[in-house]
Amino acid sequence: MKTPLKVTSFEEYQDVYRKSVEQPEEFWAEIAENFLWRKKWDKVLEWNFKDPSIKWFRGAKLNITENCLDRNLNALGDKPAIVWESNDPHEDHRILTYRQLYDKVCQFANVLKNNGAKKGDRICIYMPMVPELAIAVLACARIGAVHSVVFGGFSSQSIADRIKDAECNIVITSDGGYRGTKEIPLKNIIDDALVQCPSIKRCIVLTRSRTPVSMIKGRDVWWEDEVKKVETQGNPDCPAEEMDAEDMLFILYTSGSTGKPKGVVHTCGGYMVYTGYTFANAFQYNQGEVYFCTADIGWITGHSYIAYGPLTQGATVVMFEGIPSWPTPGRFWDIVEKFKVNILYTAPTAIRSLMSFGDEVLKGKDFSSIKKLGSVGEPINEEAWHWFDEKIGLGHCPIVDTWWQTETGGFMISPIAGITKTKPGYATLPLPGIQPVLVDENGKIIEGNEVSGNLCIRFPWPGMLRTTYGDHERCRTTYFATYPDLYFTGDGCLRDADGYYRITGRVDDVLNVSGHRIGTAEVENAINMHSSVVESAVVGYPHDIKGQGVYAFVVCPNKHGDDELARKDIMMTVTRIIGAIARPDKIQFVSGLPKTRSGKIMRRILRKIAEGDTSNLGDTSTLLDPAVVEEIKEGAL
């Protein structure tokens, strides 16, 4: 039996939700019937959270690109799949119909094959937000290669770490990319990374900015030349590789509270079902609607809700290369008007930043096409929620506040547009198939409403991560060992009197800066690499636009130059090691860090000082050197 992906009323949501909990396998099998399989599954679900071992749709065969492309050719071949808007408002936009996208994906899949790519190979993609990025991603999936997309804001070192961890053999990049007034020399950054990466045998370079680049014989080739070769070979099609439901689809690196970023692994079958289902249902997507997701494909939001989810549903997706504030802070609204966008999915940090330019910018803009709004990436404050609702949604568009994570693959707790009553700041209710629980410090499940605790999920869902690449034990300890038999999200959460969920933010040492996840340990490691730094501690503090800012306390007794230069040097070090997105907003030089007698840094105290709340620092008597706290308080920025 096939169940429609979209519910049509709140009562139906409740019925479907109940069924998804009582008979999860039947429920997901009925949802999965909406997709194209080469072979159906033998068993819907096998799992335990102890190892963990999670297998959805065992024995099923598919290729996700047949669901995104081939299946849509008959009915939607001439309809736009991707509508691309350049960074430069004067450059023509591009439209790729489903047929054109199909052709280009097949063509590039053949380029990959010509360059030695095979099923199971890992391919790193480091590209600007141009249609070829989506084409590269889908071409990998077409031939069964595992893509590892690295966001264009990461440094050479970060790319090298990711390439080495996944042992990639091919990298796809472009000469450069544009973001606002900046030109980012992507190939040059890749070249610096490749010095450390002997596993890379081929680098395919798209022409975008005509930034001068070095092209190394035998390793580097131009995208356009390779496409020409495929054209002259006369093989326009590329049959999709048959994939097992549990074969790897992609790796995406994300930060945690310790060590280097980990490669979250998603697999083909479950991820496809989950992203397609949640996209259709939460946004109540109707055929023909124009959907604009402002994320970058370098993040999970772009993977799940620019590329895969919407394309499986035959959606028209607007993809934007630039930034919201360039050349004017009205850029998003110009795009909305230009393409008559019906669904706008963006992040609280973008909303707050656009709010800060005042309502003057909105004058004369036409928002009448917008029917539904979405928010993702961090808790949305009520002021931003209301502004979004009133000024952009003109008071009549549901706001779908989607809570989810790189690891969850797709939306977890979210309103269903127009069906779930919304409440500012609340992600509201779990989607069908999702069983959230709140637990106390000891892992005891907290029942009832008007409670808060740590957010966990007690039953698997098809889009969840399966492992962290090359290190399954790390996956177990990070997500499944804190509380036995539960997936731990790392988020704090409250459940109000109506049973609605509100995410309150991370409870671990992970920061959320402008919706980007940054591990404090990662930033500390980068700062500590600076030659005059002895040690450092990084915490978050509330930031009006970014949500959280990065506050670094740094012990740096032998500065080279004055404080200002030393700060800049440290910033430069972090930019080199991680990328500009992790640069501290504030650096306070201190003579020591508050530590317990056993040498543990008391972050609680530093967090309070960074937040500007020094009234009650709690018990400091157990500190090794209580005087240091006074000094830090006085020097606070």
Sign of the CA dihedral 191, 195, 196, 197? positive
Which residue's CB is nearer to ligand PRX, number 240 or number 295? 295
Strand partners, 345: 293, 374
Q: Identify whether the C-beta of residue 431 lies closer than 8 Å to the C-beta of residue 462.
A: no
Cα–Cα dist 636/551, whole Å: 10
Contact status: 405 vs ligand PRX (CB under 6 A): yes
Span of 72-80, 208-216, 233-241, 398-406 interacting with ligand PRX by CB under 6 A: 398-406
Q: Shortest approach of ligand PRX to residue 296 CB, angstroms?
A: 11
When binding is defined by CB under 6 A, the residue of 109, 150, 206, 427 that contacts ligand PRX is 427
Which residue's CB is nearer to ligand PRX, number 132 or number 401? 401
DSSP, collapsed to helix, strand or coil, labels residue 392 as helix
Per-residue contact track with ligand PRX, 362 to 381, x per CB under 6 A?
Answer: -------------xxxxx--
Contact status: 404 vs ligand PRX (CB under 6 A): yes
Residues 6+ apart with CB under 8 A from 334: 89, 328, 365
Q: Shortest approach of ligand PRX to residue 36 CB, angstroms?
A: 26
Q: Identify whether the C-beta of residue 110 lies closer than 8 Å to the C-beta of residue 226.
A: no
- The structure tokens listed for 56 are 């959805």
Within 299-328, which residues bind ligand PRX (CB under 6 A)? 300-301
Per-residue contact track with ligand PRX, 214 to 253, x per CB under 6 A?
Answer: ----------------------------------------
Within 456-495, which residues bind ligand PRX (CB under 6 A)? 489-491
Within 163-202, which residues bind ligand PRX (CB under 6 A)? none
Cα–Cα dist 74/70, whole Å: 8
Q: Shortest approach of ligand PRX to residue 377 CB, angstroms?
A: 5
Q: Shortest approach of ligand PRX to residue 58 CB, angstroms?
A: 27
Which residue's CB is nearer to ligand PRX, number 128 or number 256? 256
Span of 6-14, 113-121, 273-281, 503-511 interacting with ligand PRX by CB under 6 A: 503-511
When binding is defined by CB under 6 A, the residue of 30, 70, 165, 401 that contacts ligand PRX is 401
User: ∠ at Cα 271 (489, 433), nearest 5°?
Assistant: 60
Distances (CA, A) of 332 to 321, 328, 560: 11, 9, 43
The number of residues that bind ligand PRX (CB under 6 A) is 23
When binding is defined by CB under 6 A, the residue of 55, 372, 506, 583 that contacts ligand PRX is 506
| Residue type, position 242, single letter | E
Q: DSSP states of 122-141 as a string?
A: EEEEE--SSHHHHHHHHHHH
**b/e burial code for range 458-474 (CB count within 10 A of at least 16 → b):** ebbbbbbbbbbbeeeeb
Cα–Cα dist 490/508, whole Å: 6
Which residue's CB is nearer to ligand PRX, number 409 or number 584? 409
Cα–Cα dist 168/163, whole Å: 5
Q: Give the residue at shortest CB distance from ligand PRX.
A: 406
Contact status: 275 vs ligand PRX (CB under 6 A): no
DSSP state of 246: T
Cis peptide preceding 327, ω within 30 of 0: yes
Contact status: 282 vs ligand PRX (CB under 6 A): no
Length of the chain: 637
Span of 208-216, 399-407, 468-476, 616-624 interacting with ligand PRX by CB under 6 A: 399-407
DSSP state of 47: E
444: closest CA among 476, 501, 484? 484
When binding is defined by CB under 6 A, the residue of 41, 285, 403, 541 that contacts ligand PRX is 403
Which residue's CB is nearer to ligand PRX, number 143 or number 343? 343
Q: Identify whether the C-beta of residue 33 lies closer than 8 Å to the C-beta of residue 26.
A: no
Per-residue contact track with ligand PRX, 326 to 365, x per CB under 6 A?
Answer: ----------------------------------------
User: ∠ at Cα 72 (206, 335), nearest 5°?
Assistant: 55
Which residue's CB is nearer to ligand PRX, number 304 or number 536? 304
Q: Shortest approach of ligand PRX to residue 394 CB, angstroms?
A: 22
List contacts with ligand PRX (CB under 6 A): 254, 300-301, 375-379, 401-406, 427, 489-491, 503, 505-506, 512, 517
